[in-house]
Amino acid sequence: MPAPAHAVATTTSSHRRYHKIPLSLLKIIKEVLSIIFRFCKDRKKAGLYVDRHIEPYIV
């Protein structure tokens, strides 16, 4: 039983940081991401871009 409880705890904690951003900002980020994915066929490059430029603002 402790294993599933721990899994639930980790998922809720990882989701918590996203609730700190306003929904309008989230929509903008999603649009930006879709544009990045459209231009960057290489998903790894797009992922690195997200980590470097968008992740620091999600705090």
Distance CA 24, CA 9 (A): 27
Residue 6 has pLDDT above 50, yes or no: no
Predicted pLDDT at 57? 61
Residues contacting 21, CB < 8 A, separation 6+: 29, 57, 58
Give me the residue spans of the domains in the chain. Answer: 21-59
pLDDT tens-digit profile of 35-55? 777 776 666 666 677 777 666
User: Which one has a higher pLDDT value, 16 or 38?
Assistant: 38
Answer yes or no: are the C-beta atoms of 3 and 13 closer than 8 Å.
Answer: no
pTM flag (> 0.85): no
Answer yes or no: are the C-beta atoms of 50 and 36 closer than 8 Å.
Answer: yes
Residue 30 has pLDDT above 70, yes or no: yes
How sure is the predictor about 34, in pLDDT bands with cuts at 50, 70 and 90? Answer: confident
Residues contacting 43, CB < 8 A, separation 6+: 37
